Amino acid sequence: MAQKLTQAPGATRGTFLDFPLVTDLDNFEADIAILGVPFGMPYEPSAMANDQSRAPDALRQATNPADSAYTSPAGSTYTRNHFDWDLGGLLLDGCDLKVVDCGNVTADMNDHKEHYRRAEQVARKIFSTDTTLITLGGDHGVPIPVMRALEVHGTPITLVHVDAHLDWRHEINGETEGYSSPIRRASEMPWIDNIVQLGMRGIGSARAGEVDDARAYGARIISAYEIHDIGINAVLDQIPDSGPYYLTIDADGIDPTIMPAVMAQTPGGLNWVQIRKLIHGLVHKGQVLGMDLVEIAPIHDVGNITMVHAERLICNFIGATVRAGYYRSSPNRE
């Protein structure tokens, strides 16, 4: 029997906003799909699972009030059926769109690379149906197989990266596909063209050589402090027009006052108004093929504040994408 590529979220966790669970990817059809990829490639052989591996299910649980201590009105019924002031209407704008949760990519704890192979296979199946993919990590290594799967679109893609850190390391402890390397790996993919990196600040694993490599590639690096000075509209002006785009968001790119549940809290990150405006602005510049939200470490959350902002971030992406007119039933479809 062939190994299942995805499985339902952990016991009693439910799906994101109670959207239908679809783990059979043969004859797959959806407008938007949510996928958990819990495991990155570890830098120590015995450390495949980390606290970030819990994040996909923790975020689902935060959107399902029947299964959570999270009692904000951002539960599935309110979010899907009540007026959303972030969007100016209902989440799906009254459109007959199919949003599904594909569960979590399965893993073989004795073969760390197998998780990436399965993640890439799942993402290829989803992208090949022109479905917008929202990936929940996991650490920042998990976008690597997802970005590899973007090859199916066969067109130069602009990568937009939000993070406190540059993520251009070639390897750490011999591992080339860990959480410090996703943007360098992306730069090697022929279908990734422009790279725009937003929110850099503080100290990470990058050394002067990695910064030089990023600049030599042509990456546009805009620090968090520059963003605070010039504003998001000016940032959007520096992102090439028309798309397509892929958006990768490391939670530590957001200021820890609103996303404290990260392993590397660094002052000065993007605030809520900025990240929301970036998402809406990017979606309306051109088609965003997919996005990921990674590096949430639930053990470090404070009063569910990270989960509140993560849920709002994903819902703003869904709602903005619906309104941009990329789906047959979208209101702005020409």
Question: Does residue 118 lie in a domain region?
Answer: yes
pTM of the model: 0.94
Q: For residue 148, what pLDDT band results from cuts at 50, 70 and 90?
A: very high
Model pLDDT, residue 69: 43
Residue 75 has pLDDT above 60, yes or no: no
Summary mean pLDDT of the chain: 92
State mean pLDDT over 296-322: 97
Question: Which residues, in sequence order, are bridge partners of residue 290?
Answer: 133, 246
Q: Let me know if residue 22 belongs to a domain.
A: yes
Flag whether 332 is in a domain: no
Least confident of 60-69, 168-177, 301-310: 60-69
Count of residues for the chain? 334
CATH number at 317 reads 3.40.800.10
pLDDT at 233 over 80: yes
- Domain presence at residue 13: yes
Q: How far apart are CA 279 and CA 262, in angstroms?
A: 21
Q: Across residues 38-59, what is the average pLDDT? A: 91
Give the model's pLDDT for residue 332. 67
Q: How many domains does the chain have?
A: 1
pLDDT 10s digits, 89-146: 999 999 999 999 999 999 998 898 999 999 999 999 999 999 999 999 999 999 999 9
- The reply to whether 1 falls in a domain is no
Residue 333 covered by a domain: no
The answer to whether position 165 is within a domain reads yes
pLDDT at 44: 87
Tell me which of 58-62, 74-78, 169-173 is least confident. 74-78
Cα of 245 vs its chain's centroid, Å: 12
CB atoms under 10 Å from CB of 272, counted, come to 17
- Residue 234 in any domain: the answer is yes
Residues 6+ apart with CB under 8 A from 40: 50, 52, 137, 138, 139, 140, 141, 142, 177, 178, 179
Predicted confidence (pLDDT) at residue 72 exceeds the cutoff of 80: no
Parent domain of 235:
6-324
173: buried, middle or exposed (CB in 10 Å: 19+, 13-18, 0-12)? exposed
pLDDT digits (tens, 9 = 90+) for 247-261: 999 999 999 999 999
pLDDT score of 329 more than 90: no
Q: How far is it, in rounded angstroms, from Cα 204 to Cα 279?
A: 25
The more confident residue out of 45 and 145 is 145
Nearest to 294 by CA among 308, 274, 314: 314
